[in-house]
Amino acid sequence: MTATTQAPAVVELAAADLNAHGRIHCPHPKAGMELWNSHPRVFLDLSHTGQAQCPYCGTVYRLHAAASAERASSCASPKR
């Protein structure tokens, strides 16, 4: 019997997919998972690195480069 390892799925996200705190939940519809047949919902923080991995299923959620730059510029601009 041979063990096979499968690379984790990578899901590309737009800034609009994140909540106001820069988080996403897993399982997520963009990952192609049904809520009833997977793990408990967990919230993952993408606000610091633009990427996070689910501790249950290993799915990697990553911001598109343009979305990541857009989010960084909106955080860097001074608020009046």
Asked if 46 contacts 59 with a C-beta cutoff of 8 angstroms, the reply is no
Confidence of residue 2 (pLDDT cuts 50, 70, 90): low
What is the rounded CA–CA span in Å between residue 1 and residue 18?
42
Q: Record the pTM.
A: 0.70
The pLDDT of residue 58:
92
What is the rounded CA–CA span in Å between residue 2 and residue 34?
29
For residue range 5-62, what is the model confidence (pLDDT) as tens digits? Answer: 566 789 999 999 999 999 999 998 888 876 656 789 999 999 999 999 999 999 999 9
Domain ranges of the chain: 1-34+49-66
The pLDDT of residue 69:
52
